[in-house]
């Protein structure tokens, strides 16, 4: 087993990474009192819920199984969690456990932030995306019909327990979507990791345990460093959004139903890299290399057919990084060196959208 710390002073917490961790007593070590509510969904429950409950034997454990899907990441589902907590007379010393992907983690984290003004929660992420990104850093939220993740809070977990074995049951598309976020860390701040991913992408797609563990460890180390530097995204944490401004436009334009988040981020990172090359920052070889890496991870490298430049322009205008009406993007000065900037030639963006929407 490997472990890392997210260094946030009194709110610091460990990330444990290893095989078979669901069965040990690590989770139990981070439960403060005797009450626990384990929240999962109907897909993950038959696979892993019993093992989590067994590892918490002796405590007063209740479970809640939610429907599966991003469409349930709502205030209405949050009510179900509060109902379960109140019906079970959970006190302020209770612990919530989020067992599942990013949807479960974000919702349970937000429920923990709100219940009695804040209780403990533990992340047990079961998708690659949740293991390398959403379970670390304390961003919690639900969606509103008018926008994704629009209602939420920063609330850090007490620990993150990553059992790499659970990735063996993950559908392949979900594995690829998680790899988009893994590739992101190399691009924004870790050139050596980017080179490592170039050497090992086929092994990662084949789910070789040692490679998956290494990719998760390095990704979590990068995420933990960024979060420790800028917990509430006043500055450098925005770099984690490489490809996301283009990606969110793709997700919104396709109704959040055709492309997975990681797939949209894959195409979005390619678009950000192309724009960076158009601005003279990235060499052509870096673009070819990135396109190949994304394709080896079975990720898209261009927007969906039918999406028009105007669709991007209008949707990107609502991005959270827009400041005083000025669009800011995460762009690449080099592989391993991202910047957030509004200071780029807008004509270059227009030309990029025209080129990529018709390729
Ligand atoms: P998800 O939670 O919907 O999980 C994807 C699918 O995989 C689901 O059907 C789930 O039931 C299933 N699944 C989960 N684990 C499995 C396993 N081990 N075996 C088989 N099936 C399994 O999606 P996700 O990609 O994990 O998370 C996406 C969510 O994360 C989005 O809501 C996004 O907004 C959020 N997110 C949050 C942050 C953050 O910092 N908080 C960062 C990135 C994404
Ligand atoms: N996934 C982006 C962040 O945690 O800031």
Nearest CA to ligand 1 atom 42: 134
Where in the chain is CATH 3.40.50.1970?
2-169
User: Contact at 8 Å (CB) between 141 and 150?
Assistant: yes
**CA of residue 278 to ligand 1 center, whole Å:** 34
Mean pLDDT of 336-350: 94
Q: Cα separation of 332 and 330, whole Å?
A: 7
Distance 202 CA to ligand 2 centre (A): 26
**pLDDT at 358 (0 to 100):** 72
Least confident of 236-240, 248-252, 264-268, 275-279: 248-252
Average pLDDT over residues 261-272: 97
Nearest to 33 by CA among 111, 90, 94: 94
pLDDT score recorded for residue 144: 87
Query: Shortest CA distance to 340 belongs to which of 224, 205, 240, 208?
Result: 240
Whether 221 sits among the annotated catalytic residues: the reply is no
pLDDT of residue 359: 60
Q: Terminus-to-terminus CA distance in the chain, angstroms?
A: 45
- Concatenated DSSP letters of 344-355: S-HHHHHHHHHH
Sign of the C-alpha dihedral computed for residues 118, 123, 125 and 128 taken in this order: positive
> Half-sphere exposure of residue 349, counting CA atoms within 13 Å on the CB side?
20
Which residue has the least CA distance to atom 39 on ligand 1? 134
3 state SS of 152: strand
* CATH fold for the domain made of 172-356: Dehydroquinate synthase-like, alpha domain (1.20.1090)
- Sequence ranges of the chain with CATH classification 1.20.1090.10: 172-356
Q: How many CB atoms lie within 10 A of CB 83?
A: 11
* Residue 5, strand partner residues: 14
Q: Would the pLDDT of 290 be above 70? A: yes
Active site residue 139: yes
In this structure, the chain runs to a length of 359
User: Residue 79 Cα, ligand 1 centroid: separation in angstroms?
Assistant: 20
Catalytic residue among 41, 223, 251, 263: 223
pTM above 0.85, yes or no: yes
Residue nearest to atom 2 of ligand 2 (CA): 240
Each residue of 26-55: pLDDT tens digit? 999 999 999 999 999 999 999 999 999 999
| Dihedral over Cα of 4, 167, 272, 153: its sign | negative
73, 90, 237, 328: the active-site residue: 237
Hey, which residues does 124 pair with through a beta bridge? 99
Assign domain 2-169 to its CATH architecture: 3-Layer(aba) Sandwich (3.40)
């Amino acid at each position: 087993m490997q472990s890392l710390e997210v260094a946030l002073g009194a709110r610091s917490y460990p990330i444990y990474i290893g095989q078979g961790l669901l069965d040990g007593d690590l989770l139990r070590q981070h439960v403060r009192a005797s009450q626990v509510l384990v929240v999962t969904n109907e897909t993950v429950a038959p696979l892993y819920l019993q093992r989590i409950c067994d590892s918490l034997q002796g405590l007063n454990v209740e479970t809640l199984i939610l429907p599966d899907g991003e469409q349930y990441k709502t205030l209405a589902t949050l009510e179900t969690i509060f109902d379960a907590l109140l019906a079970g007379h959970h006190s302020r010393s209770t612990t919530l456990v989020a067992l599942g992907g990013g949807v479960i983690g974000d919702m349970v984290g937000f429920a923990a932030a709100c219940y009695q003004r804040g209780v403990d929660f533990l992340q047990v992420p079961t998708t690659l995306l949740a293991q390398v990104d959403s379970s670390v850093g304390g961003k919690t939220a639900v969606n509103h019909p008018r926008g994704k993740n629009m209602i939420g809070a920063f609330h850090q977990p007490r620990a993150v327990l990553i059992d790499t074995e659970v990735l063996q049951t993950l559908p392949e598309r979900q594995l690829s979507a998680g790899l988009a976020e893994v590739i992101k860390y190399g691009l924004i701040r870790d050139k050596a990791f980017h080179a490592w991913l170039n050497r090992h992408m086929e092994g990662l797609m084949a789910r070789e345990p040692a490679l998956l563990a290494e990719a998760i460890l390095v990704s979590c180390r990068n995420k933990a460093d960024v979060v420790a530097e800028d917990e509430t995204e006043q500055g450098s944490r925005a770099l984690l959004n490489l490809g996301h401004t283009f990606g969110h436009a793709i997700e919104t334009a396709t109704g959040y139903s055709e492309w997975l988040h990681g797939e949209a981020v894959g195409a979005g990172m390619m678009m950000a890299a192309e724009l960076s090359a158009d601005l003279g920052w990235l060499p052509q070889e870096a673009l070819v290399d990135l396109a190949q890496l994304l394709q080896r991870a079975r990720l898209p490298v261009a927007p969906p057919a039918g999406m028009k430049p105007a669709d991007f322009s209008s949707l990107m205008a609502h991005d959270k990084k827009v400041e005083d009406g000025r669009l800011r993007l995460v762009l690449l000065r080099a592989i391993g060196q991202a910047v957030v900037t509004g200071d780029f030639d807008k004509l270059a963006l227009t030309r990029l959208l025209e080129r990529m929407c018709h390729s």
